[in-house]
Structure 1
Amino acid sequence: MLGSFAGLGAFGALAAAGCSAPSGAASGQTRLRYWHLFGGGDGANMTAMLDAFQAEHPDIDLEAATLQWGSPYYTKLGMAGAGGRAPEVAALHLARLAGFAPGRLLDAFDLDLLAEHGVTAADFPVDLWRRGAVDGVQYAVPLDTHPMVLYYNTDVCERAGLLDGDGRLRPVEGADAFAEAVRAAGEVTGGPGLVAETLGADTIGPWRMFNTFYAQTGGQLLTEDGTRIAIDDAKALTVLRYMRRLTEEGLCVERADYQGSVGIFAAGETGFFLNGEWEVTTYLNTGLPFSMARVPNLFGTAATQADCHAFVLPHQTGRGGASNEAAHAFVAWMLTHSVDWAAGGHVPAYLPTLEEPDYLAMRPQSEYREVIDEVVLDPQVWFAGSASRLWIELGAVFAGVLTGSRTPEDGLAEARSRLQELLDTPSPFGETA
């Protein structure tokens, strides 16, 4: 975890020892190093895009490194940035930006240089672009958003009378209506109609479910400045009681870890699955009859929990010159070719891609593209974002609510306690520069 770092002095020593400067590129080429954390289907898509970029840019010597997902990746990236000897460009989860010391571990983008390659702020949803800025300086450029979505088995849902004439899920509005749709699917399968991740080591699914439903109520987790808890107890309890209702009434599988939840839906045992959209490749490869939709509006809006992959420029001492220009050219190219990235289920953040015929023909990946305007990222604090302490600690708390080992009231009290502990813990990076 980022929170385990003792301080920036340790970063600098480790970075100097483990991230030495590279040797020169081939004659006439500009060396461009890129670090990312994409594996599985995402990794295959990324590799194909990198190969295409390299083929079109023979003057750039692209060196891509795939590092271990989660905390190990961010540890290494932080060490490299602290030592000023980082790669030219890297991937970062956007919700982690506030905790990654922009101005100290990250360098700012040159927006004029990015514009020379055809990419400007107007090409992105306003809120996502703003999340990449700190104090008006752009430190991250979003590649996509990867939201919580609703998978549905088209055979099960057709038999349950839940599909329209085009074979799509009929609109569902309200918590009771969703419960009834799930119940109808369960009557077809002879068991729970819904599956989601509810438990497991470092479980995050329960947090993502809570945050989706709580965001729909309009509730806030923290104050805008990220310094105090702002939970609306009434709204939070409404959500937590609903989550417990789903499992207690047998509508949702009560005990399923992440891989178990993926397998249960793959086996056709449920009609619905709440998860991130990245499992689309899994199900396309199995031939499962399924489609996907945005999470229904259960509590007032159609907001949904999400994070975003983004590009950042890790801090380099003396950043500039041909390598920095290559980094900007690379980011722009990846964005303007992000229809290929969308195959893995992520919704491209580069808005022109959403209108490309090749993307619109991509089913079910384009079925939930409208969610781009209603995704909810974590508060802008150092302990938030994918694989963060926030996700894991609150995931464990809300897992207890789903499985019945905690009451909703106990879950809320414990969530408040853990949030306060995180707020009272200083950021390992201190303030931004």
Structure 2
Amino acid sequence: MPNHPSPPGSASPAVSRRALLTGTAAAAGIGLTGCGSVAGGLSDKTRVKQWNLLAGADGAVMTEMHDNFSAEHPDIDLEATTFGWGTPFYTRLVMGASGGNASDIATIHLSRLKSVSPATLLDPITLDELKAHGLDPADFPEKIWEKCFVDDELYALPIDTHALVNYYNKELCAQIGVLDAEGRLIETSGVEAYFDILRAAKEITGQYGTSLDTLGGWRQFWAWYRQADGEMTFTDDDYEMDDDKALAAIEVMYKMSEEGLCPQFADGGQCAANFENAASAFVQVGNWEINRFKLFGGDNPEWFSMTEMPDFFGNRRTQGDCHSYVLPRHNSWDPEVRDATIEYAAWMLQHSFRWGEGGGHTPAYLPVTDGTDYQALQPNAEYSGVVENVQFDPDAWFSGSAARLFDETGGIFNQVYGLQMTPEDALAEIKSRIETLLALPNPVD
């Protein structure tokens, strides 16, 4: 993709990660003219264009927050556009940024940051901009903050942590006898201990113990593979993974389906419906479904609760990611638009209690998550420890949320759950897909 740098003298160099972390960065200038949005125009408002891929239940919460932002900022015309999740969104982002015609700010998955070629297609963010709008590096979890940098430049602002979690029907779990004195799901250790709970749940529901998205099997695989301390690293033309640990993770999936403890097929909508209709006592799905289940409960929104993934291999690691704000590359920036853009991002982070409450995601902004209001929020507080257990997908251009590794392995894991492919054959096919992807060039480079 062609590079569209700012004209000479229009912007100072981005500050380094070291400067951001120590708070000693120098002031940075801002470009002279806007490429996309413009200040003023036909009205007195400064227009800020925002692109996102949040079309689910969390998208409705984001829209509500956008309305509140606009009400508090009558001088800013926020123009938010939602594109199709996954490939449609990232294709639009890359094409728009390569031509200098993207939005002023966009919401991406942090796991995809390097795959969108930030040095070419994104503009870095400076410490002075953050401070001017009340943000500080210390406001974010260190592990997540570090992932926002590429080549010592800050390209992303984390919005949240979202992860694969374990929802449970409180009434059914009470019948099984697996709630503690505080009414929370007991912790187990090992595959068999949790399978025993699923077997008991299956007897009560008459159908399944748990439900899950069989087309999104990468999430379950990566959670259990990482619980077993499995590593997956990529170089330009090679990779390393632990076959024994990968096979153990896939065998869990196969055995769960073989015993009828989960559906042999269920997409995202079906697995959620199974839980709602008491066809299963549990469902393993992302924390973004919290609002759907609350609404389903009607006058009883507390019919369910949530906790971290069960401990199968010695810990409760799980697959997850972060939504993050990035600034698509502009040929140059109108200073009023740039300032309004950072104000939008800062406001959304500072008001992300609502994002956690309604969207289910754990806000990345620590003044919110460490606050007494959030710590008292249920069921969010019960799974708040997931932030420390989130495992990002392996680092490769074809990896990350909605990337090709996720998509292409989905069909393989679906066949495992359908008992149409053995774990050994599935592992061989996964490795073959990885080798094919490694041989392809990064289309963004």
Both structures adopt the same fold (TM-score exceeding 0.5): yes
Paired residue type of 2:183: G
Paired residue type of 2:273: G
Q: Could you tell me which of 204, 214, 218 is aligned with 1:207?
A: 218
Distance 1:331 1:313, change over 3 A: same
Separation (CA, whole Å) in 2 of partners of 1:232 and 1:25? 58
Note the 1:344-383 alignment, pairs <5 A.
344-383=359-398
Residue 192 of structure 2 is aligned to residue 182 of structure 1: no
Deviation of the 1:375 alpha carbon = 0.5
Determine the structure 2 residue equivalent to 1:286.
296
Determine the structure 1 residue equivalent to 2:403.
388
Residue 417 of structure 2 is aligned to residue 406 of structure 1: no
Structure 1 unaligned regions, length at least 5: 1-6, 10-19
Residue 235 of structure 2 is aligned to residue 229 of structure 1: no
Determine the structure 1 residue equivalent to 2:257.
247
Deviation of the 1:190 alpha carbon = 2.3
Describe the SS at the equivalent of 1:265: helix
Determine the structure 2 residue equivalent to 1:163.
179
Deviation of the 1:304 alpha carbon = 0.5
Separation (CA, whole Å) in 2 of partners of 1:106 and 1:353? 27
Note the 1:304-315 alignment, pairs <5 A.
304-315=318-329
Describe the SS at the equivalent of 1:312: strand
Separation (CA, whole Å) in 1 of partners of 2:65 and 2:265? 38
Deviation of the 1:141 alpha carbon = 0.9
Describe the SS at the equivalent of 1:313: strand
Q: Which range moved further: 394-403 or 94-103?
A: 394-403
Separation (CA, whole Å) in 2 of partners of 1:50 and 1:170? 39
Residue 130 of structure 2 is aligned to residue 120 of structure 1: no
Deviation of the 1:263 alpha carbon = 1.0
Determine the structure 2 residue equivalent to 1:322.
336
Separation (CA, whole Å) in 1 of partners of 2:57 and 2:268? 17
Is this contact kept in 2: 1:226–1:380, CA < 8 A?
no
Identity of aligned residues (%): 43
Deviation of the 1:359 alpha carbon = 2.0
Separation (CA, whole Å) in 2 of partners of 1:328 and 1:144? 17
For the aligned residues, what is the CA RMSD?
1.9
TM-score with structure 2 length normalisation? 0.88
Write the deviation string for residues 141-164 of structure 1: whole angstroms up to 9, x where unpaired.
110111000011111110001001
Deviation of the 1:8 alpha carbon = 5.2
Distance 1:26 1:339, change over 3 A: farther
Structure 2 unaligned regions, length at least 5: 4-34
Q: Which range moved further: 303-312 or 247-256?
A: 247-256
Structure 1 stretches (4+) deviating beyond 6 angstroms? none
Q: Could you tell me which of 265, 283, 287 is aligned with 1:277?
A: 287
TM-score with structure 1 length normalisation? 0.90
Write the deviation string for residues 283-324 of structure 1: whole angstroms up to 9, x where unpaired.
111117211101022112211001211000001001351211
Deviation of the 1:226 alpha carbon = 6.7
Separation (CA, whole Å) in 1 of partners of 2:143 and 2:237? 21
Q: Which range moved further: 64-73 or 75-84?
A: 64-73
Paired residue type of 2:226: A
Determine the structure 1 residue equivalent to 2:431.
416
Distance 1:354 1:93, change over 3 A: same
Determine the structure 2 residue equivalent to 1:29.
45
Write the deviation string for residues 105-149 of structure 1: whole angstroms up to 9, x where unpaired.
111111221122121221111121111111111111110111000
Separation (CA, whole Å) in 2 of partners of 1:226 and 1:335? 36
Q: Could you tell me which of 253, 259, 262 is aligned with 2:269?
A: 259
Q: Which range moved further: 210-219 or 114-123?
A: 114-123
Is this contact kept in 1: 2:49–2:105, CA < 8 A?
yes
Deviation of the 1:419 alpha carbon = 0.7
Separation (CA, whole Å) in 2 of partners of 1:269 and 1:253? 10
Q: Which range moved further: 286-295 or 149-158?
A: 286-295
Note the 1:322-341 alignment, pairs <5 A.
322-341=336-355
Determine the structure 2 residue equivalent to 1:302.
316
Is this contact kept in 1: 2:237–2:439, CA < 8 A?
no
Separation (CA, whole Å) in 2 of partners of 1:385 and 1:97? 9
Write the deviation string for residues 243-262 of structure 1: whole angstroms up to 9, x where unpaired.
11111112222222222211
Residue 228 of structure 2 is aligned to residue 217 of structure 1: yes
Deviation of the 1:334 alpha carbon = 0.8
Separation (CA, whole Å) in 2 of partners of 1:196 and 1:44? 23
